[in-house]
Structure 1
Amino acid sequence: MSDDHDAAGAMSFIFEAGVLKRAARTGWWFAGVKQPETIAEHSFRTALIGMMLAAMEGADPGRVSMLCVLHDTQETRITDIPHIAKRYLTAAPNAAVTADQVADCPPAVAEVITAAVAEYETGETLEAVVARDADKLECLVQAVEYRHQGIDNVQRWIDSSRAALKTASARRLAGAALSGQPLAWLSPSRQSE
């Protein structure tokens, strides 16, 4: 294969991932959120949380962040299927979707992405456990923010996300999110002079 073909294949995946900036997280519509965050917005904060949790848990922050960035990239093709819809629908496994997405990428790129997705999906490494916790914790944090914005019907997301957390650090951060104020950082008393 030519270098131009490899570059075009890589760019195809980059363009496809850009769709995540426009695709909404659909489960929040059930809670009454009219304009929920996008999948890309969710993935960004998941990666940030993952990096922090990795530092707290002794995992590799870079690896965890990569797993978090890639954990929902398949949703360009299968969409963000709400939890209740999964009772009735069967989607292709994320690893299979990813393989199709990166089929035309340079082999080294395809290998890195497919290995990361497989690691996340298997959930056996410390990094994968931390990345999965970051995903659940981001959902909990988003629910807390929506609740502070007046969306009352978010408790089920808080409860299910909190129950799924595996690491002690994620459970501590969840407690802090539940007792915290999302905009407390704006307080003049918290800013240095």
Structure 2
Amino acid sequence: MFNPVFARNIVSFLKIVSKLKHTLRTGWVDCKVKQPETIAGHMYRMAIISMLTKNQPNICTERCIKMSIIHDLSEAIAGDITPHAGVSKEEKFKLENDAIENMRKTLLNGVSDTTEEGKQFTQTVNEMLDLWHEYEEGTSPEAVMIKDIDKFDMVLQALEYETDQNLELPTFYESTKGGFKTDMVKALMNEVYEQKDKLTEERK
């Protein structure tokens, strides 16, 4: 029988997470994009991209998939804080870290770590949420890959909005130019740049 305390906490946690399904990405809203993607939509495609990292050197695909759907989890509480929000990196980290710890407390509320099932559940929760910290540190091979995928998905989305809505969104290209570290994502970006150049030529 599944522990009812765990079930209660998971449902409470999922109610928080569900906000990501409806929270629009701030960058697109600021650029007046019509029907912009949600945070959850962004993370979903990142997870799909992560599935394609198999056979990349020193990369655990499973960890990449997990990290891709955890890396923006804090935004369910802290919101999508962009570089243009006037919030320092230190304050942004504090707000997002507090959000993650709030989620940890929600999941572990009333859970006893003196029982075997309590220890196992606590370990599961910690392993999940600690992926956020690993991403923020950005030093593991998987974190480096996911940071690349995060930026790539954003630029690809910019290209799609430019194509579909006849927009010009140069800042998304400029802010990421030269910032990619993995061979896989560099190759993906080369394809995006080629398509962007083609679009620019077609509009002349």
Q: Sort the TM-score into its range (normalised by shorter chain).
A: 0.7 to 0.9
Is the CA contact 1:139–1:158 (under 8 Å) kept in the aligned structure 2?
no
Q: Distance in 1 between matches of 2:48 and 2:86?
A: 27
Q: Which residue is equivalent to 1:16?
A: 16
- Distance 1:87-1:97 versus aligned 2 partners, 3 A rule: closer
TM (norm. structure 1) is 0.84
Q: Which residue is equivalent to 1:165?
A: 180
Q: Which residue is equivalent to 1:148?
A: 163
Q: Distance in 1 between matches of 2:184 and 2:28?
A: 26
Q: Which residue is equivalent to 1:98?
A: 100
State the shift of 1:94 in Å. 3.0
Q: Distance in 1 between matches of 2:98 and 2:187?
A: 35
**Structure 2 gap ranges (5+):** 108-120, 197-204
Task: Count residues with an aligned counterpart.
Answer: 180
1:117 maps to 2:132: yes
TM (norm. structure 2) is 0.79
Q: Distance in 2 between matches of 1:165 and 1:57?
A: 16
State the shift of 1:35 in Å. 1.9
- Distance 1:131-1:175 versus aligned 2 partners, 3 A rule: same
| Structure with larger Rg | 2
Q: Which amino acid aligns with 1:28?
A: W
- Distance 1:31-1:54 versus aligned 2 partners, 3 A rule: farther
Q: What RMSD over aligned residues (CA atoms) do the two structures have, in Å?
A: 2.1
State the shift of 1:124 in Å. 0.9
1:130-175, CA deviations, whole angstroms, 9 ceiling, x for partnerless residues?
0111101100110110111134231110222343211121111011
- Distance 1:57-1:96 versus aligned 2 partners, 3 A rule: farther
Q: Which amino acid aligns with 2:164?
A: Q
1:104-129, CA deviations, whole angstroms, 9 ceiling, x for partnerless residues?
32412321122211111111110110
**Structure 1 gap ranges (5+):** 182-193
Q: Distance in 2 between matches of 1:157 and 1:54?
A: 27
- Distance 1:88-1:121 versus aligned 2 partners, 3 A rule: closer
